[in-house]
Amino acid sequence: MLHFLTISDTFSFTFASKNVIIDSDNRKKKGLTEMENTYFLINGGWYLEVDLERYNLDEEFREYVDFFDLYHAKTLTQRLMNQPDLLSMMLNKMQLMHEHLDKDKILYVNKVGGFYLMTKDTEIEACVQADHRPYEPNEGLTGWLDVDGTFYECLYGMHAETLDYFKLNKLHKDRSEPVYFASSEDLFGDQFDSVEISSNLTEDQFDWIRENFFALSSAQRRQIESKYEVED
């Protein structure tokens, strides 16, 4: 039996009995090329395909995947802070992403780092190639938008770790800085939406905002429109 950890409102372990491997021939039939991000829609959620071969060959991709281990530890710490014994046990038992890949060869990872193995009964609703998971209209986004127009999505409460891990806080000659996005519930269950622009937007940042404006929450869009004129 193979296991995986799913991060959701409550922690649960799901067991799978068999992997479904999508080989190169099947990928080509679907119009998918290797060494690019492929996302699968499974049970209404988008999952990034992570395979061992790409993990070993693509250093940038490997760095991105390894960051999910930090996600797991941080999320466990946040949600089990009042249960120190359980937290300690969960952290000690937590397997790293590369350990799962070494054994299972391929994983499917959601936006908060939860991952699982496909089974013979898994139904794939859609698949796309893209730089990021497909966004839903008005969903609200959380993360950092770097000066080169790359968006680093993260959980609320993981901004500092994301900034440090991907070295987004380096000084740029034009003094441009990453843009902070947050859309989540606070500790009291109230919706919190924010966009913090502390320097002039670069052209790449503005292009990203214009392209993904539809995915921001209405509150995030209003905050941007108070400073910039954005055309959908």
pLDDT tens-digit profile of 201-214? 999 999 999 999 99
Domain locations in the chain as residue ranges: 2-129, 143-225
Which of 1, 99, 117 lies closest to 55 in space, CA to CA? 99
Q: Which amino acid is at 112?
A: V
Q: What tens digit of pLDDT does each residue of 147-188 get?
A: 999 999 988 888 999 999 888 977 676 778 999 999 998 767
- The 3-class secondary structure across 162-228, one letter per residue, is HHHHCCCCCCCCCCCCCEEEEEEECCCCCEEEEEECCCCCCHHHHHHHHHHHHHCCHHHHHHHHCCC
Q: What confidence tens digit (pLDDT) does each residue in 86-121 have?
A: 989 988 888 788 888 888 889 898 887 777 788 888
Rg (CA), the chain: 19
How far apart, in whole angstroms, are the C-alpha atoms of residue 151 and residue 12? 29
Name the residue among 157, 151, 67, 78 with its Cα closest to residue 113: 67
